[in-house]
Structure 1
Amino acid sequence: MGADLKGLPATLPATLPDYAQRAQERLTPEAWAYFDGGAGDEWTQRRNVAAWAHWGLRPRVLQDLREGHTRVHLLGRELPTPLIVAPMAYQCWAHPDGERGMALAASSQQCGFVLSQHSTTPLQQVAPLMRAEAVRGPLWMQLANGADRGHLLELMAEAERAGYEALVLSVDAPVQGSRDRVRRLGAQPPAALVTPHWRAAPSAPEGLCGGTVEQALRWDDLAWLQARTHLPLLLKGITHPLDARQAARLNVAGVVLSNHGGRVLDTQPATAECLPELADALQGDAALLVDGGIRRGTDVFKALALGAQAVLIGRPCLWGLAAQGAMGAAHVLRLLRDEFEMALALCGCRSPADISRDHLRALDRAVDDAP
């Protein structure tokens, strides 16, 4: 299973659900609202979690499980595990270890890591912490739609020089969503937290949302971006199959099915509900990853059964960081990886390559509005 974590503090939470409670206890109300809150009534945020339970597992028994493993192939590389830490902003607000701690946690558990453009730590300081591990997951850099275009090009070049292996362009948030919990508390990251890689695009005097979307990226900008980097480009935030097909036609390396954790546009369907349709639309023409509501190793198994090649994990890792710093984030990833391995074995799969939709059954009940 994952890397050894002997000598864990006695106060470390024992289970994945315990980490959310511990994080809420340790964070200020404003920080909790920022990190945990969703858009509007948070319907999509709740449904993201609940929808994975709509799929029931169908184990196969007496299978040959000898020499089993969790390795997957993604973007021409074999990865030790299909777990990747999602890009998340302002991690030093959650814990002083911040992005450095999260990168150490990911590399120690052989998981991937995506650094947010809203990182509170320079990308050059994060890269060596991941790349020092001989056996690890991928190191990617996230780019935000709505950023200054000239600055985007500089950032892409900096990431490539520092050894990042792919770029992940978030395409679903040219503006922020309306987050009621944040608005009620007036929650904003502390002014002392610096985001060295973020620079907003200039707004126009007229247009939607006060002109802030006038410089938002469009489909015809993708070729412009791809021509200016040697790194593969993935699009994060695609939920519609027609957009997935368009991305494949433009030769992007991968698509991340994501609704931004329910933080941008409320009443979208859950990613677990969209995944089969996107997998069918892409038919392997581009890598397919998914995030949103993944809270257990069984959810990871279901995501792969529905057509994803890897998953991005967001809030659970953040709760681990907030609760116990780098050690807590590493423990969360260890728990997720161990649960995934157990699901593999108990469903009769020697490796992720053996997982198929035959291992799932849609349950005859509606997904509850709450997890």
Structure 2
Amino acid sequence: MVESLADYEALAESVLPSDVYDFVAGGSGSELTLRRNRAAFDGVTLTPRVLAGISEPDTSCRLLGERWELPVAVAPMAYQRLLHPEGELLLAQAAAAAGIPYVISTLSSVPLEKIAAVAPSWFQLYWLKDRVIGLMERAVEAGCGAVVVTVDVPIMGRRLRDLRNSFALPPDVGPENLVDKVTEVRAHTAAAFEPAVSWDDLEWLRERCPIPLVVKGILDPRDARRAVEAGADGVVVSNHGGRQLDGVLASIDALGPVVDAVGKECVVLLDSGVRSGLDVLKAIALGASGVLVGRPLLWALAVEAVDEALELLKQELRDAMQLAGCADLAGARELSHGRP
């Protein structure tokens, strides 16, 4: 029986091959940051308001010029056909039904055009050698509403579970937006990704990108300022779900300083560690415009429950808002918060 969004992980683990489960669940190094993301969320306290007279909280929001039913987007995640034969298409359709944006990964296992045809989408762009503009132009032509350029993967973090499992993609799953034939993910990243990307490159991309540009992978408020100065319409405070440099601070701990640095000038999204509607409320209270949700939705995809999972996430957020005395997200941003 599924009673919370977090329950899907155990269900998925029971049906997935162990190496696929580890590929999704694992982090880099000793997984210090992976654990810290959750510990930091658990340490955030909220002070609810009472007698607010709320019968039905309003969870809707505006992000990047569009109105959405929840302050949530589906995080960009690679190779979703590892978890279900329909992969990205099934999760994108569920996002469309839930009224939230779906962020298409550069490394999606379904072509971006097919995904954008079934759901309002943003496109996550990895900086690949000689292919950045071509991918961006495809995303624009497909109708994507934003480009989310990921800047925290100059090289892939050392993901020890994958190394110990000798993890490789099966023959029928690969990066369908590229022409590459891939089995070993780490080797492909080393060969295809450009490690020496700079702020000059971001400014160059901004000049050529005709739709909103969001920079994902920001932890330092100085980098958030630089992103805004380079023309970014938004930033995503993210440590890549604990999958890049191990030992960095939790994303939720980095959120406040980033909001203080740029919160009035651009959209600030939070990624890494979100596991419930209560986590969404905490992120909003700490200043986020919205959040990206990743692993819980992959676990739901593995057991063909993505529509149910997104409905559960919405109900968890509504319950948390009502218990906290928040009629809407503006009220959520006024909640007092702290740490024990």
Paired with 1:172 and 1:215, the residues of 2 have a C-alpha distance of 10
- Give, in angstroms, the shift of residue 74 of structure 1: 1.6
Q: What residue is the counterpart of 1:148 in the other structure?
A: 129
Corresponding residue for residue 311 of structure 2: 334
Kept in 2: contact 1:62–1:348 (CA 8 A): yes
| Residue aligning to 2:149 | 169
By how many angstroms is 1:31 displaced?
Answer: 0.5
Q: d(CA) in 2 for partners of 1:232 and 1:199?
A: 27
Change (3 A) 1:167 1:180: same
Determine the structure 2 residue equivalent to 1:127: 116
Separation in 2, partners of 1:71, 1:254: 19
What secondary structure does 2:38 align onto? Answer: helix
Residue 313 of structure 1 pairs with residue 290 of structure 2: no
Cα deviation, residue 119, structure 1: 0.4
Q: Partners in 1 of 2:89 and 2:322 — Cα distance? A: 33
Question: Offset at 1:169?
Answer: 0.4
State how far apart, in whole Å, the 2-side matches of 1:258 and 1:210 are. Answer: 21
Matches of 1:18 and 1:66 in 2, distance apart?
Answer: 28
Give the counterpart of 2:228 among 234, 242, 248.
Answer: 248
- Cα distance in structure 2, aligned partners of 1:212 and 1:103: 26
Structure 2, unaligned runs of 5 or more: 181-188
Query: Of the candidates 342, 347, 354, which is equivalent to residue 331 of structure 2?
Result: 354
Asked whether the equivalents of residues 4 and 276 of structure 2 are also in contact (C-alpha less than 8 Å), the reply is no
Alpha-carbon offset, residue 357 of structure 1: 5.2
- 8 Å CA contact 2:57–2:321 kept in 1: the answer is no
In 2, the alpha carbon distance for the partners of 1:244 and 1:256 equals: 9
What TM-score do the two structures reach when normalised by structure 1? Answer: 0.85
Q: What amino acid maps onto 1:353 in structure 2? A: A
Q: Is the 8 A contact 1:148 1:199 kept in 2?
A: no
Q: Which moved more, 1:52-61 or 1:188-197?
A: 188-197
State the SS of the aligned residue for 1:308: coil
Over aligned residue pairs, what C-alpha RMSD do you find?
Answer: 1.8
Q: Structure 2 CA distance, aligned partners of 1:263 and 1:140?
A: 22
1:1-371 correspondence to structure 2 within 5 Å: 13-65=2-54, 68-131=57-120, 139-145=121-127, 147-149=128-130, 151-198=131-178, 216-324=196-304, 328-356=305-333, 358-363=335-340
One-letter code aligned to 1:148: K
What is the SS of the residue equivalent to 2:124?
A: strand
* 1:65–1:51 Cα change, 3 Å: same
Q: CA shift at 1:68, angstroms?
A: 3.5
Partners of 1:254 and 1:289 within 8 A in 2: yes
**Distance across 2 between alignment mates of 1:99 and 1:221:** 29
Mean CA deviation greater in 82-91 or 218-227 = 218-227
Which deviates further from its counterpart, 352-361 or 103-112? 352-361
Q: Normalization by structure 2: what TM-score?
A: 0.93
What is the rounded CA distance, in whole Å, between the counterparts of 2:287 and 2:195 in structure 1? 34
2:326 maps to amino acid: C
Aligned length: 332
